[in-house]
Amino acid sequence: MNNKSITILKIGGSVITDKSTDEGSARMEDIMRISGEIAGADSRLVIVHGAGSFGHPQAKRYGLTAKFDPLGSIVTHVSVKELNRMVTDALNSAGVKAVGVHPMNCIVCDNGRIKEMFLDHIRIMLDNGFVPVLHGDVVMDASLGTCVLSGDRIVPYLAAALGAERIGIGSAENGVLDDSGNTIKSINPSNFKEVRHFIGGSAKTDVTGGMLGKVLELLELSETSGITSYIFNAGNEGNIAGFLKGKNIGTAISKAEDKG
Amino acid sequence: MNNKSITILKIGGSVITDKSTDEGSARMEDIMRISGEIAGADSRLVIVHGAGSFGHPQAKRYGLTAKFDPLGSIVTHVSVKELNRMVTDALNSAGVKAVGVHPMNCIVCDNGRIKEMFLDHIRIMLDNGFVPVLHGDVVMDASLGTCVLSGDRIVPYLAAALGAERIGIGSAENGVLDDSGNTIKSINPSNFKEVRHFIGGSAKTDVTGGMLGKVLELLELSETSGITSYIFNAGNEGNIAGFLKGKNIGTAISKAEDKG
């Protein structure tokens, strides 16, 4: 049995893919750099990555958020699995014992919300030194047939279910920014109303809610489970390694104000 | 809700890969022919394929049946996932709404035996016209770390859990053969002792029990759930299509003698 604390690291689709150009355009240099940074992690680690250009354009093309489309569901799922293969291959090359875990294979939703998730395999992976690597995906939905499930929704669910200690959201920005472009250091129930107007949806193709969706999910999690999350820039070298070594960077989202 | 009966079709690793030569040698022509035969299926269908040269040589090389080897577990799992991608791609090209379901992501074993399997996603797939495609895999094991889980073990578990009506085991032989090379038409608890000596293990690299393993699992299933299984030659064109249309071919394994 392994008693090290559990950390969940989200890597945004914008960090590891190019969302501005074609479908299926991976940023291999960033994927390899990030894999190297992750290789130094000491805690039990779960990685969740976004789909970026390996999922959002496909989901949009087939109108997956509006209707059930079996072919579109398969095309989108196969595409994001391909990105997951690249990420896990890079992690394995860096010495991380990464195993792809596809939400399509272990999560069921109801009306777009996680209804059930199989966790036993993930717990045994963590106990044996493996790093499960999940991702935004198309999953089966008891009401809708299939639905698009964002990595941002998987992270808080997993964190609560596994009793994680820290969450890192590696995005393409320095955190949540105010209107002068400065990072807001802390978001909590007391100041959320003041900072809410700074938080926009994603500027590019994103079917799953963008920054506001992330912040709302993480605020809810901090209130129910007391877990603090950090949104930081994973595009800057060293930030993921720093976070994994215990550094608190970017915007902290917590139950009470972060006095740090 | 879809009330059509459920059929489980196993496709042997020897049928879709070349087990006599290198690691990772797929028989693409057979995979495409079989995909075309499956496209005509009318029942709700679950496919389970073997790993063949995409899993057995790797498992043997790392000694996975004797010891826990994280790297070997990953290499073997990644290899059989690659075969699963080829099979699901061919099925999708033939018009089957195939979705890869990796046992590593939804099954946990204890001492090599299935302890827990997430099934909700498979049920929703079947209700919505998808065809889940599972395979022999390396999975997490509560006692051993990981273990090799044969497709032949997944089939009876799934059949009982889903309430399947028919099982087809598409192998590289005409069924279970007697010492003159004739197909034994029926195996049941009454004649098992007489025919047992005809049933050998696999001649080539097979870490998971060969023909005897298959027959024992299916006999047990017929006794507990009353499901009849047919072992037939999937290498012969038309046999899979025939089985899926209700034809009883090869060797029937059942609770009572098949008078057919």
| Spatial CA neighbour of A101 closest among B47, B140, B254 | B140
A-chain CB neighbours of B125 within 8 Å are 140
CA atoms within 13 A on the CB side of A164: 27
Q: What is the pTM of this model?
A: 0.94
Contact B70 A142 (CB under 8 A): no
CA gap B178, B182 in Å, rounded: 5
User: Under a CB-based contact definition with an 8 Å cutoff, are residues A48 and A80 in contact?
Assistant: no
How far A81 CA lies from chain B's nearest CA (Å)?
10
Q: What are the distances in angstroms from CA B133 to CA A144, B22, B161? A: 21, 24, 16
Q: For testing the chain B interface, which of A73, A85, A104 should be mutated: the one with the most B CBs within 10 Å?
A: A104
Q: Is A77 on the interface with B (CB under 8 A)?
A: yes
Asked if B142 contacts B110 with a C-beta cutoff of 8 angstroms, the reply is yes
Q: What are phi and psi of B235, to 5 degrees?
A: -80, -20
State how far residue A142 is from chain B, nearest Cα, in angstroms: 7
Which of B102, B129, B146 has the CB atom closest to A70's CB atom?
B129
- The answer to whether A161 faces chain B, any CB pair under 8 Å, is no
**pLDDT of chain A, 260 residues: tens digit per residue:** 577 899 999 999 999 999 887 778 999 999 999 999 999 888 899 999 999 999 999 999 999 989 999 999 999 999 999 999 999 999 999 999 999 999 999 999 999 999 999 999 999 999 999 999 999 999 999 999 999 999 989 999 999 999 999 999 999 999 999 989 899 999 999 999 899 888 875 544 445 557 787 888 899 999 999 999 999 999 999 999 999 999 989 999 999 865 54
CB contact under 8 A, B104 and A108: no
A and B: number of Cβ contacts within 8 A: 95
3 state DSSP class of B54: helix
DSSP string, B186-225: EE-TTTHHHHGGG----SSS-TT-HHHHHHHHHHHHHHHH
With CB atoms and an 8 Å threshold, state whether A128 touches B70: yes
* Cβ density class B92-105: b for 16+ within 10 Å, e for less: bebebbbbbbbbbb
B107 touching A (Cβ < 8 Å): yes
Which residue ranges make up each domain of chain B?
6-253
ipTM > 0.95, yes or no: no
Shortest CA distance to A157 belongs to which of A148, A167, A147?
A: A167
Contact with chain B for residue A99, Cβ under 8 A: yes
Across the beta sheet with B137-141, what order do the strands follow? B113-117, B107-110, B137-141, B145-149
Contact A135, A169 (CB under 8 A): no
What's the angle, vertex CA B62, arms to CA B208 and CA A90, rounded to 5? 115
Architecture of domain A6-253: 3-Layer(aba) Sandwich (3.40)
Tokens of B133: 């495609």
